[in-house]
Amino acid sequence: MPNVDEVTVVIVPFPAHGHLNQLLHFSLLLSTRSGLTVHFASTASHNRQAKLRLQGWPLSSLSSIHFHDLPLPSIPSPPPNPHSPYSFPTHLQPLFDSTDLIRSPLSSLLLSLSASFRRLVVIHDHLISLDCFEAAAIPNAESYTFCGPSAAFLCEVEQLMKQGNGLEELASPEFIRFIERRRRDVITSSGFIINTCREMESKFIDILALQGDFLGKPIFAIGPLNPVPMHNNTNISRDECLEWLDGHPPSSVVYVSFGTMSTISDEQAEQLASGLRRSGHRFLWVLRDADRADIFSFESTSRQLPTGFEKAVEGVGKVVRGWVPQLDVLAHQATGGFMSHCGWNSCMEAVSCGVPVMAWPMHSDQPANARLLAEGLKVGVLVRGWDRRREVVAAERVEEVVRMVMEGEEGRSMREKAREMGEAVRAARKDGGSSKEALDVLVAHWKR
């Protein structure tokens, strides 16, 4: 007999770290609400990946979520190609395509859960097809589309589609075809959930509400989804990069990371190394290749830097070749600037921590995100314009941008704007804040 007091929420993420990360944070946030039972449905390896890279929450919090391992056949896991004509991670396309294979087991899971609860709420990543759910026509269920990118990028995509222009400059042809297939899936969504807030993107949220699939549907802007403030992680062993940051003054270190889906060429790595050294500023540089489909077999890179570089910068700079807890790094008092690819997770984490960004977009939503931070919010600076994306950024430009953010009046103004925006974004999640109110309305609707 269905539980008349509870609503069960099933989260279905897309199997790439940035997507897993956002929806795991959202799952944990929902699990703190009474009357909700939260389920997280992905493949076994990606459930494990999401748990392994948990940030900002104690490990014990994972026990509040029911994880479901959806079966997936073995798929190719080729290495990334730093010399590809596309900066986009084309090596992950077999993984992306394989998400079609989870439809049947997902449908079975949803049917089973719907029989045990008064209401079933399905929240699926916008890149996951839910046609199996629609076909089942579960009477006590409703679905919501989770949009991981910024509202600014979603508006840009809608505009490009209206103009008949494609996304050829932002992604690979294979991924564009994948997106087009997803857009053709007829999903009767009850609304859209976005990891953003009105304090950052009010204009774009309002524009989006009048566009395409969003027209006439409620949009719930509930970000940032990453925890603010950070939860106590005393039961997690501290990463060595945080111990290294402990030894440096407040706001003195430039954090350099291009995320889990980007790989730079050897030539670019050499120019970046030279520019960081010439700037004279402290830095923590995560130099790793993009994730493969199987992150557990291929976690780091043996990428070589100019001979003697790491010894020459010892004490001032640190190079890390594996994954690091980025949220902890950005929240550390020693971090004063962030050189980033501008994936939306990185943007939201940097802004919520009040850290200015040196924006270096590479593909997908990143150019739109970079413009939002640098030109819209004034909390960052573009390392290079998107029109010069195929050029190697010279050491001189790297040095110039680092000095611009970390020194002088222009840098002081940028850092102050970042601090103010961080306070506003964190307030959005508190009582009376725009994101807290949006989530309250959404949960109340589920419990009706």
Token readout for 356 is: 């200015």
Which positions are annotated as active-site residues?
Answer: 19, 125
For the stretch 337-349, what's the b/e string if a residue is b when 16 or more beta carbons lie within 10 angstroms of its beta carbon?
bbbbbbbbbbbbb
Backbone angles phi, psi at 357, to 5 degrees: -115, 135
Q: How many CB atoms lie within 10 A of CB 441?
A: 12
Give the separation between CA 290 and CA 11, rounded to whole angstroms.
Answer: 25
Q: How many CB atoms lie within 10 A of CB 436?
A: 16
Question: Which among 254, 253, 411 is positioned nearest to 340, based on CA atoms?
Answer: 254
How many other CB atoms sit within 10 Å of the CB of residue 447? 15
Nearest residue to 334 (alpha-carbon basis) of 211, 241, 266: 241
- Both tokens of 162, joined, read 């209206």
Burial (Cβ within 10 Å: 0-12, 13-18, ≥19) of residue 210: exposed
Cα dihedral 112/50/187/38 (nearest 10): 40
The H or E element containing residue 40 is strand 36-43
CB within 8 Å of 23: residues ≥ 6 apart: 11, 13, 40, 123, 125, 146
Which neighbouring-strand residues pair with 357? Answer: 338, 380
